[in-house]
Amino acid sequence: MVNVVQEVRKAEKDAASIVEDAEETREETIESARDKAEEIVEDAKNNAEKEKLESMNRFKEEVNQEKDDIIEEGREEANKIRETSADNRKDVEEFLWDRFQTDFL
């Protein structure tokens, strides 16, 4: 009978050890999962920040390109106006010279 009691005590002790090990494993698993979750969240934040910066840079490039296009169009239009005004000036000078010659000479 002493032997049975000893075996029961040993079985209880083994069961308690198994429960304690399981509890430790559970806590370690939970802590590991929390660490992994924090890592995932941090990676997601970093990726979101990187995407935001890339998007902003693309937008800035597009705005700068559009600005350059508008400036170039303005220069081309200004050059056309200068050419037209130069042509008109010649025509006006010729007209005035002809008129002057007709009226005064």
Instruction: Provide the residue-wise pLDDT of the chain in tens; the chain has 105 residues.
Output: 768 888 888 888 988 999 999 999 999 999 999 999 999 999 999 999 999 999 999 999 999 999 999 999 999 999 999 888 877 888 888 888 988 888 877
Measured distance CA(59)–CA(25) in Å, rounded: 50
Residue 19, both tokens: 């429960």
Is pTM beyond 0.95? Reply is: no
CA-closest candidate to residue 25, choices 35, 33, 36: 33
The reported pLDDT for the residue numbered 27 is 97
